[in-house]
Chain A
Amino acid sequence: MNAPLQLPGTQAVDKPVRRRARIWRIRGELSSRTVVILGAIGLCAPFLAWWLYTALGFADPIFMPGPGAVLERIWHWWNNEGLLDDIGISVYRVMAAFVISAVIALPMGLYMGTYRPVQATLEPLIDFIRYMPAVAFIPLVMLWVGIDESSKILIIFIGTFFQMVLMVTEDVRRVPMAQIEAAQTMGATRGEIIKLVILPSARPALLDTLRITVGWAWTYLVVAELVAANSGLGYAILRAQRYMHTDKIFAGILLIGLIGLLTDQAFRWIGRRAFHWQKR
């Protein structure tokens, strides 16, 4: 009897108002369909603007080719200039550097985040190196390692590794103390706590760290391929600059972006599958 009176008319007026308010509420909810649509609009709008700008003849095609010309260039690159090989070698360099970084950074960060003496010893050093620009290491790397594949991988490694260790350390340190102490009161040894509590608890954060750092590895690709390379996406961009092939510069940048986006989505997908127990 005390329920508020429901008039059919008031509901119809209420509804759209309430829905708009939900979307724009601070940290409000969004249906997954809306997310996809908005993401697609956000991605397509700049391309549309770019296409309009060039199609209407505002830009000199030598400085800014249209999307059509860039697509044509990609097609040509694929058929006659070995695009697949360039992609392959670049992916290899980025992934090799990334995997080596991860293989060292994960255990190192795990120990830094778990044992304070390890952290106290290594963190200042890593912080120090982290601020040295990776590009500045190129002459040294060329002197010491030479100009073969390993030098390119090393440059990307230098750019990625030190950030990665610090982020892994932070992920490990964020494991709630109550989870660790609960295991201690059940009689777990230090080794058991690392294996059965800290690692599984930090896993989602670690995957996120890997996702972010693989992106950074890609940004160091062009820098690395400055080093006496004769193949790769970054190298292609640098060489296109020399010949004023603006369309190829556009093509190279877009392709790197696309590969990065795909890697990112792959990591997110793995995370959703593997850590379904997480709160969304």
Chain B
Amino acid sequence: MDKPCISIRQVGKQFGTRTQTIEALRGVNLEVMPNEFITFVGASGCGKSTLLRILAGLETHTSGDILLRDQPIDGPGVDRAMVFQHYSLYPWLTVMKNIQFSRSLKVTMDSIQTQGDVERASGRADALLNLMGLNAFADAYPNQLSGGMQQRVAIARALMPRPDILLMDEPFGALDAQTREVMHDLIRHVHRLEKTTILFVTHDVEEAIYLGSRIVLMAPRPGRIENIYDVPLPAERNQDMKLEPAFIELKREILSRIRETSGVQTDLDQLSRLTQGADK
């Protein structure tokens, strides 16, 4: 329990074109414990997605080491699942078939051998459907669902092969505020129930505090970790906590740090200078 399930050491990532190189990540260090819920915030372009995609095996880092339970990353694997912001569902498959998609892949079929395995897998799909409140929509197609329900399907599909680590890149970014609150409580419930480690990228500071046990604040140019905060809230969360002084204090602190690092402050200064000029 005490050994980290992800060790990120001095990781750097450069995107190179012939004319310029972009340093998307520099000197990133992070240890993630099993069953942690870590949220990443920061101005856009600070490398949040890049870090997550490297962990998913969709991208390779250019320097440093990443160990998953002492093993270096070698491409995507069933131990890690990813939930994307949108357009990742298969519109030609029903909700149930989407959730069971991983069962049609060879990696999973190899592990399903006995009749008992098959039944367990079917039971798992039903349980996930239930957990996500999608029972009535098992035979519906993604295009018939609201954005919130589509993301529930995507989460269920990602959880189907029982990943150790769930990577989520702004999964609720396209949802309205009310739907998002419902999804927050749902994903925390999933985290408790499934005992997965969750790494969750967002640009919404309130979301980051409400969901995370730790918050990783990142800064751009070059993409780096600026600070890591322990969230001063109990493991059980409810929406009222968003009004507690500790919550608001942390939110204020993180927001101001993002403003300092993102270059938005200079925009704001310029804006205030312009409006002052107009007053005269």
In the complex, what residues of A have CB within 8 A of residue B81's CB?
185-186
Q: Which of B31-39, B97-105, B224-232 contacts A (4 or more CB under 8 A)?
A: B97-105
The 8 A CB mask of B251-269 against A (1 = contact, 0 = none) is 0000000000000000000
Question: Given A182-B82, A189-B106, do A278 and B87 touch, yes or no (CB 8 Å)?
Answer: no
Number of A-B contacts (CB under 8 A): 82
In the complex, what residues of A have CB within 8 A of residue B92's CB?
200-201, 203, 275, 277
User: Does A183 interact with chain B (Cβ within 8 Å)?
Assistant: yes
User: Does B220 interact with chain A (Cβ within 8 Å)?
Assistant: no
* Alpha-carbon separation in the docked complex, A179 to B98 (Å): 11
The 8 A CB mask of A173-213 against B (1 = contact, 0 = none) is 00010110111111111001000110011010000000000
Q: Which of B87, B105, B143 has the most CB of A within 10 A?
A: B105
Q: What interface size band does chain A fall in?
A: 20 to 34
- Which residues of B117-161 are within 8 A (CB) of A? 141-143, 154, 157-158, 161
Contact across chains for A188 and B58 when beta carbons are under 8 A apart:
no
Q: How far is the CB of A203 from chain B (nearest CB, A)?
A: 7
* Alpha-carbon separation in the docked complex, A76 to B90 (Å): 54
In the complex, what residues of B have CB within 8 A of residue A278's CB?
91, 143
In the complex, what residues of B have CB within 8 A of residue A178's CB?
84-88
A residues contacting B by CB (< 8 A) are 176, 178-179, 181-189, 192, 196-197, 200-201, 203, 275, 277-279
What are 21 residue pairs bridging A and B, where the CB atoms are less than 8 Å apart in the complex?
A178-B84, A178-B85, A178-B86, A181-B56, A181-B84, A181-B88, A182-B88, A183-B105, A185-B57, A186-B76, A186-B78, A186-B101, A186-B107, A187-B78, A187-B108, A188-B105, A196-B101, A197-B90, A275-B92, A278-B143, A279-B91
B residues contacting A by CB (< 8 A) are 56-58, 76-78, 80-82, 84-92, 101-102, 104-108, 141-143, 154, 157-158, 161, 167
